Structure 1
């Protein structure tokens, strides 16, 4: 890691940290917002108010206690960390090794409790003895009925018990209570988590309740001064979203239960990790099997009390396989963002050669179990399964860029899974559970809904979505595993789109016609008259910059962009004649042509004129006489980026109503991996200019000013950048941090390998219509220097060992191909020279004879 610049250390505080103030240690609060929270980033919300952003040293705290108050901002220097909450499976950073991370595999906690009926306390309680008093207060909780599994949506009916100072106790519907009483916050109230009335809250009522809304549980009906304390809740009806039955694991289908159910008729899933999910402010009770402690005054502990302070300890398994027990949670650091190539012991991986292997049949790829990882060297030790996935081989050392987490078996601790082995026993609910242990032999211990713990191999479990309670894959529990029917990999980052404030620069250079002129320009081109393609071909070759209908072509301000270099025989823009280079539709992504109209042809002519004269250095565009709606852009990676010298090809199709609708763009990716936050492996190009990302309104496509030229300049200048890692949504704020710098370096290593791999693929199998351009670029253009520069890259001491392992064969293959191209070009030039000499000699002989 370079030390040329000073980088900010990792953040001191994170959301949900339990804190106090140095000046007021009796106050306890929970951090509700920090500067580095990803959801604070304005890129994620086009209507985001920048005034809502926090300064890097600000935190927002929501306080427990009374009176209620809005969350308040404090400087980090004023705040003291009391506790930090973790769940099994969470990623943490090593306290002394900045490159090492680990997974929390066990959580222990001690808690101070307070009786919700008074001031009695119970200190230093083992949280493993506790469970939530009212599981129905946890919206989203898992429950079962009649062989079905579902999520709690809401409590539709609930009774509230109130005890008054006179000792009288009454019961009232929650809805009636809110109508007939004023509810106050008690000292225990946590303003972060209260979604409905809870025990411990104080209510003020009229001197008497109406009998038709109140049921008295004591002989006395006196409310005294009218001040009461909520002491208990009883759910009477639950609203449940039922998700699936055993049919999800190929078991017998069962009738769907009613959405509104009696709480006594359902079974709650009581997680064995429930204590790890408890926060200050939660209402808890002792588990049925636990010995009930005694309160400070000698009385038995009450059935319900509130957590007022916690102390969390974690057991962590580090990437190198070592395990540390009883680490104080406040000493553990949370990564700002996790490196997407990172792996941990027990992970199921596949040998996709760092995503450098083209997928033809995903089932043919090796699958293994990670044993340990050396993150600094980017190496891992893996045991591979045999072809039948029955036996594990001996440990092998692999590059982290050679392997990646298997997308269909990314099961972490605390994940919910379906167990196909119990599909024939639907009402035992043993077919549902949570992962509680990850072993190095590919098995997982699963805590089942029937209270038992069993061990199952990873491919016998199906991960379920924790928020939607729906299976992640279409084919669940099938014998073939969890790949789709074509064996294609599921892309888990499909929604990780980029937006960058600088993208506005690509728009600011365009002349800004108002909305009225925009509509006028578009309406003048709304001509649905069909156009003969052959006639269109003959008229499109003109280089005039004036539109056929008299409008002046609108061009972006590209004065600062250098002119495209002259490569002999190669034009930056050209129309390919089918007679010279036939276009094979099978090689195209956009196989169906857009119907040609006079209006569309006029727009095409304008775009061609701009491309002929305005393309900057490193961009070449081809269109086709038989497909004028289609363009293919070749963009070479800019210098001083991990993409330097690599070709990036894009298919661009103009829609019938262009420019009212932006073009469709497809990234022709031959690297086999994700090259950029904006350029997805499946070819998707995410830019607000194309409407594939929800950017600001001024970044969107403007029918009167946006152009294909502007689009290509945006891709070259705003996507293919020096540090693409920071283009991920929310990651821009990590620039200047040690975490961000390290993750960016790892990202660039992987991207560089993929870029060279893609280059080799295009040199070996170039599209016919761009072969001469690619050959010329790598023999006579800027790319000819790669023959010497690539071997030097391997000598760079900043490259990790794992990167060099993957880079070396790709680099050698590319250099070999470049040298072969150079030899072919030299021979061709020599042949041309010889032909020229022969022609001159023949001419001289003819002249002498005359």
Structure 2
């Protein structure tokens, strides 16, 4: 057992220090970044000594106090208790294949779970043995205190063969179980009668009484009743239950008869699944010769279940390997304490038993009964015994492949989930795209399509330095579409041939799109037929992704064959049925057309020894009735060598020429930090008066999609706009400039210069605020211009222009005071909110729910990574603003940044800082001390909480610096020429004066 830490997570199993017999599963944690506020239910309990101010805070906010968790006690599924982490002992954590984890939450490196194993302690309820008659089983209740320890989890499986969330295959379709209808067979305690209750919901297990000295009471302060109660939950053999009298009256009595006065307490003998409600996801591919045009019925009834045609996909099935060879991808079903399991039996009899309709014949005066199998089923007398048992404790081991490509086995209790995954994180085997060569195209059928020809496979990742080693495809041509490019729709996309060339690239210049990404644990449909293997039978068109190979292929396990086997295939030859990342995937789309041959039987680099690979036949791809894809034959094809990111021929990590004016980012108020560097001081030559903060311009306003369009407005609207202009003319914070146009006063163009003390220092951020016709009754709309195509520069600012702010109604505020109030709220408040709430020194915590992480040790490294990314992306904003100054702000940009305009010359400061960062990264040991001092100075200016910038950020910085340097040299030359002209003019005047 391990001490609890700040790495506690939802789903972990803990016991109370005060009573190790009281254990439970964590339901909520105080730093939960995904779920909403906890809803206090009537059964919620708190410690009787909980301070009153904490109790009142919980009632008022419904937010968990810091270092508190909600623990669901296992002896009663209806009791949630609020527990301080110091009162808990960690027993085990549970992970599945494909989960992303870390050793410590503060670590930079993460890994992917590729296999699981473990042991369980059990409390058997019923043991089952074959009788002398082949159709009769003998079931016997075991003594209450019986324990079976250290049972290998691979020998166990859930007692219920069908459960909600399982993946099923039937009639050429794959579906997900949404509900299971069960019958429950019980034996009444009063007279031993046996009755089958048709609705399992009418059978409630009897919850044990709360201990007399239990230290937890209701949130209101009232003690909870001690007597046992009943809880509606699926029951298991051996459990004491209470049955509705009306259900007893309607039940099927296998022995005895109904009596209205009988006590409704009983013991469960068996639970049988008799109905499945299924949501059908995807049909078998028509390439296989079966169209699957007609969906099966949503309700699968008992008669169909008994035929065996409905298959439950076996995610935990392992390969049958040679003696002594361990399946490296073996993964067991997580067995959580209080769950019921049955010892694994691979015979069809074990499976049929869950649907048995046979009679039950209790033996008088004993704790045993008989099970009669259905006709057509029988057991051999020498078949081994098996049992139904409750899991009391677990010990889990996880096999993890880390980002540096190493593989280790780790105790599950020492691992923590990586929930706040950075958008730029990738792992070995992932297929990624280089962002520079990407292009976005439009189509009549699809609104946006992204096309890329620079595609590679991640070999390993240096998580600290934010660098990935990538092996590139030659001749790749990929087109993807859909929301966030999550569906591969173009059948003629191809990856080409994998090369041997490996380059190092910044994580910030590559993208991992869902359409090109498969995760371990994904269930996929195979679009090409596997080669037949003699003696094999079962379903071969669906499998689970087990591994991402370094050559870009997937290792897929066909778990529905009678003997599971692994195959290798291209990512373009599979369609995701169920994603390990998101089990709500509802894609009914067909897979893309095949683009390559299946790999043969050979062992490949990175392949696990002992794996059995099936060769695939080259069946012809299906004909799709689609319009011809228009290609650009003259466009550049990025090969592996061309994507090597050479210093002289590097692709820009910014959008192609002419950036979309609909994309930009925002900034905040300057702070008092001019003393940091002498270069912050303004030039001492001519006046620095500069452009006015607010100005109404002549001419036409820029045409933006964010504008609602001008037109006639009411007098109330005109008065409101006039009021806003008056406020903005006199009250704008330093570093903020607002422009509007006489021809269209609806538009307020706001330019904010990033404040010192934040990663956004000196960077320009542009917003368009539209005072629509419903203003000021409703909040204005805001559009953020994002000058980056490598990710968001701030959690509140999206690349599509969305601005998340409670004043704008695009984000839920903590209280009503943060929302727009007609007649009271102003545009100035929006600007101040952008400065004070959005463009802050630690933008990572602006992400929804992440404020709970602020100040915690585990979040600091992630926050530092986000800040350095925000820093380097906002440096690119400067380059973009100078290249294409936004309409109406040209003079502001020039005055702020260019030395020739007699302004603050921020370009000099920015270039000086960038060069110092790059010099510090390559400084010799003897200069380390001086370099460190310069680093500290500059990091203070940008508040980058890190010892140094990562190599991944420096790679981007090196690519941005040359353009800025060229512009600065040009401006310095203009300044020098201007000074020379002034000097010459002064000397000439003096000469004329002397001559006179």
**TM-score interval for Structure 1 and Structure 2 normalised by the shorter chain:** 0.7 to 0.9
Task: Please tell me whether the aligned partners of residues 10 and 739 of structure 1 are also in contact (alpha carbons under 8 angstroms).
Answer: no
The match for 1:688 is: 806
- 1:37 maps onto 2:158 in alignment: no
Task: Please tell me whether the aligned partners of residues 775 and 821 of structure 1 are also in contact (alpha carbons under 8 angstroms).
Answer: no
Aligned match for 1:788, one of 912, 918, 933 = 912
Classify 1:664/1:584 alpha carbon distance in 2 versus 1 (closer, same or farther; 3 Å). Answer: closer
Task: Supply the distance in 2 between the matched residues of 1:240 and 1:217 (Cα, whole angstroms).
Answer: 31
The match for 2:718 is: 601
Classify 1:821/1:810 alpha carbon distance in 2 versus 1 (closer, same or farther; 3 Å). Answer: same
Task: Please tell me whether the aligned partners of residues 248 and 258 of structure 2 are also in contact (alpha carbons under 8 angstroms).
Answer: no
Task: Supply the distance in 1 between the matched residues of 2:982 and 2:888 (Cα, whole angstroms).
Answer: 22
Task: Please tell me whether the aligned partners of residues 914 and 957 of structure 2 are also in contact (alpha carbons under 8 angstroms).
Answer: no
- What displacement does 1:766 show? 1.4
The match for 1:162 is: 186
The match for 1:239 is: 277
- What displacement does 1:820 show? 2.4
- What displacement does 1:228 show? 1.5
Classify 1:43/1:301 alpha carbon distance in 2 versus 1 (closer, same or farther; 3 Å). Answer: closer
Task: Supply the distance in 2 between the matched residues of 1:289 and 1:775 (Cα, whole angstroms).
Answer: 76
Provide the alpha-carbon RMSD of the alignment. Answer: 4.3
Aligned match for 1:457, one of 570, 582, 588 = 570
- 1:88 maps onto 2:238 in alignment: no
- 1:339 maps onto 2:446 in alignment: no
Q: What secondary structure is seen at the aligned counterpart in 2 of 1:776?
A: helix
The match for 1:622 is: 739
- 1:149 maps onto 2:273 in alignment: no
Task: Supply the distance in 1 between the matched residues of 2:547 and 2:458 (Cα, whole angstroms).
Answer: 15
Task: Please tell me whether the aligned partners of residues 184 and 200 of structure 2 are also in contact (alpha carbons under 8 angstroms).
Answer: no
The match for 1:5 is: none
Task: Please tell me whether the aligned partners of residues 18 and 29 of structure 1 are also in contact (alpha carbons under 8 angstroms).
Answer: yes
Task: Supply the distance in 2 between the matched residues of 1:399 and 1:783 (Cα, whole angstroms).
Answer: 27
Task: Supply the distance in 1 between the matched residues of 2:516 and 2:38 (Cα, whole angstroms).
Answer: 31
Classify 1:228/1:44 alpha carbon distance in 2 versus 1 (closer, same or farther; 3 Å). Answer: closer
Task: Please tell me whether the aligned partners of residues 103 and 318 of structure 1 are also in contact (alpha carbons under 8 angstroms).
Answer: yes
Task: Supply the distance in 1 between the matched residues of 2:587 and 2:916 (Cα, whole angstroms).
Answer: 44
Classify 1:210/1:408 alpha carbon distance in 2 versus 1 (closer, same or farther; 3 Å). Answer: closer
Classify 1:435/1:194 alpha carbon distance in 2 versus 1 (closer, same or farther; 3 Å). Answer: farther
Q: What secondary structure is seen at the aligned counterpart in 1 of 2:297?
A: coil
* Match runs of 1:709-728 below 5 Å: 709-728=828-847
The match for 1:268 is: 312
Task: Supply the distance in 2 between the matched residues of 1:96 and 1:175 (Cα, whole angstroms).
Answer: 42
So what's the TM-score if we normalise by structure 1? Answer: 0.77
Task: Supply the distance in 2 between the matched residues of 1:252 and 1:244 (Cα, whole angstroms).
Answer: 11
- What displacement does 1:88 show? 1.5
Task: Supply the distance in 2 between the matched residues of 1:710 and 1:666 (Cα, whole angstroms).
Answer: 16
Higher mean alpha-carbon deviation, 225-234 vs 283-292, is at: 283-292
* Match runs of 1:625-704 below 5 Å: 625-672=742-789, 673-696=791-814, 697-704=816-823
Task: Supply the distance in 1 between the matched residues of 2:971 and 2:209 (Cα, whole angstroms).
Answer: 78
Task: Please tell me whether the aligned partners of residues 92 and 333 of structure 1 are also in contact (alpha carbons under 8 angstroms).
Answer: yes
Q: What secondary structure is seen at the aligned counterpart in 1 of 2:756?
A: coil
- What displacement does 1:661 show? 2.1
- What displacement does 1:464 show? 4.3
- What displacement does 1:217 show? 2.3
Q: What secondary structure is seen at the aligned counterpart in 2 of 1:231?
A: strand
- What displacement does 1:748 show? 1.4
- 1:255 maps onto 2:281 in alignment: no
- What displacement does 1:246 show? 3.9
Q: What secondary structure is seen at the aligned counterpart in 2 of 1:113?
A: strand
Classify 1:221/1:759 alpha carbon distance in 2 versus 1 (closer, same or farther; 3 Å). Answer: same
* Match runs of 1:295-694 below 5 Å: 301-325=385-409, 327-335=410-418, 337-352=420-435, 362-388=450-476, 389-393=495-499, 394-421=501-528, 430-448=540-558, 450-451=560-561, 452=564, 453-464=566-577, 466=579, 469-471=584-586, 476-477=591-592, 568=689, 570-578=691-699, 585=703, 588-590=704-706, 593-599=709-715, 600-672=717-789, 673-694=791-812
Task: Supply the distance in 2 between the matched residues of 1:351 and 1:193 (Cα, whole angstroms).
Answer: 55
So what's the TM-score if we normalise by structure 2? Answer: 0.66
Classify 1:486/1:328 alpha carbon distance in 2 versus 1 (closer, same or farther; 3 Å). Answer: farther
Classify 1:650/1:838 alpha carbon distance in 2 versus 1 (closer, same or farther; 3 Å). Answer: farther
The match for 1:806 is: 956
* Match runs of 1:93-242 below 5 Å: 93-94=102-103, 98-117=107-126, 118=141, 119=144, 120-136=146-162, 138-155=163-180, 157-165=181-189, 167-174=192-199, 177-178=202-203, 183-185=205-207, 195-204=233-242, 213-218=250-255, 227-242=265-280
- What displacement does 1:441 show? 1.9
Task: Please tell me whether the aligned partners of residues 438 and 452 of structure 2 are also in contact (alpha carbons under 8 angstroms).
Answer: no
Task: Supply the distance in 1 between the matched residues of 2:286 and 2:803 (Cα, whole angstroms).
Answer: 34
Aligned match for 1:755, one of 874, 878, 882 = 874
- What displacement does 1:213 show? 0.8
- What displacement does 1:337 show? 2.8
- What displacement does 1:641 show? 1.1
Classify 1:175/1:111 alpha carbon distance in 2 versus 1 (closer, same or farther; 3 Å). Answer: closer
Task: Please tell me whether the aligned partners of residues 201 and 229 of structure 1 are also in contact (alpha carbons under 8 angstroms).
Answer: yes
Task: Supply the distance in 2 between the matched residues of 1:589 and 1:434 (Cα, whole angstroms).
Answer: 44
Higher mean alpha-carbon deviation, 57-66 vs 471-480, is at: 471-480
Task: Supply the distance in 1 between the matched residues of 2:720 and 2:572 (Cα, whole angstroms).
Answer: 54
Classify 1:12/1:402 alpha carbon distance in 2 versus 1 (closer, same or farther; 3 Å). Answer: closer
Cα deviations across residues 362-384 of structure 1 (Å, max 9, x unaligned)? 42342111111122222221111
Task: Please tell me whether the aligned partners of residues 444 and 456 of structure 1 are also in contact (alpha carbons under 8 angstroms).
Answer: yes
Q: What secondary structure is seen at the aligned counterpart in 1 of 2:275?
A: strand
The match for 1:739 is: 858
Task: Supply the distance in 2 between the matched residues of 1:202 and 1:59 (Cα, whole angstroms).
Answer: 30
Classify 1:299/1:55 alpha carbon distance in 2 versus 1 (closer, same or farther; 3 Å). Answer: farther
Task: Supply the distance in 1 between the matched residues of 2:509 and 2:98 (Cα, whole angstroms).
Answer: 24
Task: Supply the distance in 1 between the matched residues of 2:595 and 2:575 (Cα, whole angstroms).
Answer: 12
Which has the larger helix fraction? 1
Task: Supply the distance in 2 between the matched residues of 1:376 and 1:202 (Cα, whole angstroms).
Answer: 55
Task: Supply the distance in 1 between the matched residues of 2:810 and 2:62 (Cα, whole angstroms).
Answer: 26
Classify 1:202/1:149 alpha carbon distance in 2 versus 1 (closer, same or farther; 3 Å). Answer: same
